[in-house]
């Protein structure tokens, strides 16, 4: 019998955005722990459509994608009151420091590099989700 792995504080819903279908498939499997629902999108435009129709706890986002890249996605996401504080973990193969600075300036919450260390990425996802929860509680 399969028992779901439980990680305390792990988000219930994750949107993984990447133009690579293999990485999306891995994200769907590797991020779906503690009963998390993982939804995928191939680019920023498709991700914004999903966010308009569903609520997510965390977004995992590639920067370099066709149609709408990660930078433009972040700018549009942060322009909407409902998603202004939605945690976004960048997952990219870009090694240049300028990309990281630009991503954080656009509203990224955390930054991770490819190739993916899934255990570390799950930890980063949990950390940003918990931090958002603490922030929301402090505003009450």
Q: How confident is the model at residue 29 (pLDDT cuts 50, 70, 90)?
A: very high
Q: Specify the pTM.
A: 0.91
35-71 b/e with 16+ CB inside 10 Å = b? ebebbbbbbbbbbbeebeeeebbbbbbbbebeebbbb
- Asked if residue 8 is part of any domain, the answer here is no
Is residue 2 in a domain?
no
Domain count, the chain: 1
* Residue 29 domain-assigned (yes or no): yes
Q: Is residue 60 part of a domain?
A: yes
Residue 52 placed within a domain: yes
- 5 in any annotated domain: no
Which residues lie across from 27 on neighbouring strands?
Answer: none
| Range of the structural domain that residue 132 is part of | 13-138
Does the pLDDT value for residue 94 go beyond 50?
A: yes
CATH number for the domain spanning 17: value is 3.40.50.2300
Categorize the per-residue pLDDT at 11 as very low, low, confident or very high, splitting at 50, 70 and 90: confident
Under the banding of pLDDT at 50, 70 and 90, the label for residue 66 is: very high
* Residue 92 placed within a domain: yes
Residue 129: inside a domain, yes or no? yes
Cis before 115? omega within 30: yes
């Amino acid at each position: 019998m399969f028992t779901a792995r439980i990680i305390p504080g792990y988000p219930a819903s994750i949107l993984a955005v990447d133009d690579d279908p293999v990485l999306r498939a891995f994200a769907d499997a590797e991020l779906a722990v503690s009963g998390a629902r993982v939804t995928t999108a191939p680019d920023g435009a498709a991700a914004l459509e999903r966010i308009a129709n569903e609520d997510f706890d965390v977004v995992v986002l590639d920067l370099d994608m066709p149609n709408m890249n990660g930078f433009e996605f972040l700018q549009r996401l942060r322009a909407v009151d409902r998603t202004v504080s939605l945690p976004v973990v960048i997952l990219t193969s870009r090694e240049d420091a300028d990309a990281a600075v630009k991503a954080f300036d656009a509203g990224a919450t955390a930054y991770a590099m490819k190739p993916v260390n899934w255990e570390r990425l799950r930890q980063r996802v949990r950390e940003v989700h918990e931090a958002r929860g603490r922030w929301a509680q402090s505003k009450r």
